[in-house]
Amino acid sequence: MADTTTIPGASCMEKLKSYVKTPKGLILAGEIILSFIIIICYAASYYGGYSAVAICEMIFAMIFFGVFMMELDKQFQVISWIWSDFFRAAIGAGLYIITSLICVIGGAGDGARIAGGVFGLIAGLLFAYDTYTIYLQIRSSRQHTAASTSDRV
């Protein structure tokens, strides 16, 4: 997942700069920034309860950004990071699209709620694109081997 070739003694800031330049790093940074904008919009609206989705998704995106940036996914192989990231992005896309549609449709008279809903729809599309890219990566990394059908060992 971390498409970087890092120097062993690189500082955290150097790793951050090099990871943000990768496609996955750019997607995760976009998810974090959009989630932060959505939190601000929902905090300014009359109904602040919709900010829970944005807060959770921003925290999860920050965790995965940190794991992939520091290449911890290669050290802790107990967790299937690619599948965890796939489910994070898929659930985030679904939740953002659902809550954003609710906010846009029912937000008459509350401009901040509508703005949060519009940014949420954009974030839902970004999370869906992230899900699609992870799916392509899973599909390309999976080896198609023929299973033996005989009973002999």
3-state SS string for the chain? CCCCCCCCCCCHHHHHHHHHCCHHHHHHHHHHHHHHHHHHHHHHCCCHHHHHHHHHHHHHHHHHHHHHHCCCCCCCCCCCHHHHHHHHHHHHHHHHHHHHHHHHHHCCCCHHHHHHHHHHHHHHHHHHHHHHHHHHHHHHHCCCCCCCCCCCC
Domain positions in the chain are 18-138
Whether the per-residue pLDDT at 111 is higher than 80: the answer is yes
> What pLDDT, in 10s, does the model give residues 56-92?
999 999 999 999 998 888 888 888 889 999 999 999 9
Whether the per-residue pLDDT at 106 is higher than 70: the answer is yes
What CATH number should be reported for the domain whose range is 18-138?
1.20.1270
